Amino acid sequence: MKEAILEKLRCPRCREQISVWNVTEEDGGEIVEGTLACHACGGTFPVHSTIPILLIPGRRAVDEFAATLGREAQKVGFSKAVQSLADGTVEYPATRAFEPAVTAAEVREGRYRASESFWETFSRNRLVQQQQNAIAAHLDAMEEMWLRAEVNFADTVLDVGTGWGGALVPLVERAPRDAMICGFDTAFLNLRVAQGQIERAQYDNVVFVVGDCLNPPFREQLFDAVISWFGIGRIPGFSDYLQGILSVLGPGRAFSCAWTPLVNDLDGLASQADLLGMAERLDIPTRPDETAGFMEAIGFEEVELTTVGPIFVLSGRAPVSEGNLRGLSGS
């Protein structure tokens, strides 16, 4: 982690400035392993493999929804796992207050996931190939998302739900060469895969941060553009995530996301009633037209929803207040 990005980060718990507490490994002025601290609330946050883990205490740096659903499916089968999430039998999110955000074993696994040897095997995985093919087949939808977010003119871009980075390299190639791109995800191991891809492509304008938009660890109004390729339209807490995104989006700047409803993709694997019940309980969008209403309700302007093939592209713009206008005009 370059210390220069510190002024852009904030404590996820109290939104105050954070600073370097200690450094245990450094490489060329970049913090590889260490700890950040918030002097306002006393929170401490680890840095592993140059990635700051900016989650509130008690949260794990994993894809909690996928982990919960997968864990229950192993026990009782997928259909019953969905039913358990729908009726509240299974708690979500399941906090692990006594387990660190990232374990030592995950740090070791992360080193492997960023390596060339891992990628050689990983890239041949059938699921990965399917995802890569989907990106190639729906590049027009991705282009529409970038166009709506105006990434071509952005100095700072936030990619929410980066995952293993399948859509990150095309984004970096599209954005201005000197723009700062931030890959943002709740899962540390996902970002280590993405980090490996960026290192292989030899881009030096990408940073990675573990966190979530429920408690965004960034300075308010920091980003010129925010995008999400299948990152937030298919996860719990959609409306709350939108509020977090709005808080870090600059005045008059645009957010755009692309996705297909999760309940459609899971149709046939569980009853429609249980899928809809799970989605309603966990605030996962089921009707794209409703998502446009969510955006307008929390303050986005110029909200627009369109389809590009089977993919929905939703966009909106942060409002510009009179105070913002004075600041932008320099008066």
CB contact at 8 A, 194 and 163: yes
**Would the pLDDT of 168 be above 80?**
yes
Cα dihedral 70, 46, 3, 224 sign: positive
pTM of the model: 0.91
Report pLDDT digits (tens) over 253-291. Answer: 999 999 888 877 787 788 889 988 998 888 888 888 888
Domains detected in the chain? 55-62+93-329 (3.40.50.150)
Q: What is the number of residues in the chain? A: 331
Residue 270, C-beta contacts closer than 8 angstroms, at least 6 positions apart: 78, 79, 82, 83
**Would the pLDDT of 203 be above 80?**
yes
Write down the pLDDT at residue 172: 92
Write down the pLDDT at residue 313: 94
Residue 105, C-beta contacts closer than 8 angstroms, at least 6 positions apart: none
Write down the pLDDT at residue 98: 63
- For 232, the token pair is 């937030």
Residue 297, C-beta contacts closer than 8 angstroms, at least 6 positions apart: 239
CB contact at 8 A, 239 and 298: yes
Write down the pLDDT at residue 28: 86
Q: What is the mean pLDDT of the chain?
A: 88
